[in-house]
């Protein structure tokens, strides 16, 4: 599971480079995310714009990552593709996460 990270302002942006988060990859995704979110950024944004498909195992893994962050931090999602969006909407998990159309720009540079 290839996950790339960028720290920007108060955000840790994690970009999933795979085209699917499914039963074959969900545990690995969760384990990789557990390591990455050791970074202290208050906001973690998971960029799913390259993920074409996510099944209920993948959904469960994303929920588990949200719980890993604990009460003081948020997992935000960005760039949901149509089938992924359908899974979140159908299961009403779209009401549990802050979902952005694309990765937020973060704090504007004052300079």
| Binding interface with other proteins (CB under 8 A) | 20, 22-25, 53, 55-57, 59-61, 63-64, 66-67, 82-83, 86-87, 90-93, 95-96
Angle 92-36-89 from CA coordinates, rounded to 5°: 10
CB closer to other proteins, 7 vs 90: 90
Residues in CB range of 60: below 8 A, 6 or more apart: 26
Strands 98-100 and 53-54: unpaired
CA distance 31 to 33: 5
CB closer to other proteins, 3 vs 64: 64
Q: In whole angstroms, how close is the CB of 74 to other proteins at the nearest point? A: 12
Q: In whole angstroms, how close is the CB of 81 to other proteins at the nearest point? A: 9
């Amino acid at each position: 599971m290839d996950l790339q990270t960028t720290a920007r302002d108060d955000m840790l942006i994690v970009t999933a480079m795979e085209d699917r988060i499914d039963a074959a990859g969900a545990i690995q995704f969760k384990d990789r995310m557990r390591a990455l979110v050791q970074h202290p950024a208050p906001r973690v944004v998971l960029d799913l714009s390259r993920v074409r498909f996510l099944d209920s195992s993948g959904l469960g893994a994303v929920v588990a990552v949200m719980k890993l962050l604990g009460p003081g931090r948020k997992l935000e999602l960005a760039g949901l593709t149509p089938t992924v969006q359908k899974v979140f909407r159908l299961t009403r998990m779209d009401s549990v996460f802050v979902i952005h159309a694309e990765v937020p720009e973060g704090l504007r540079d004052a300079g």
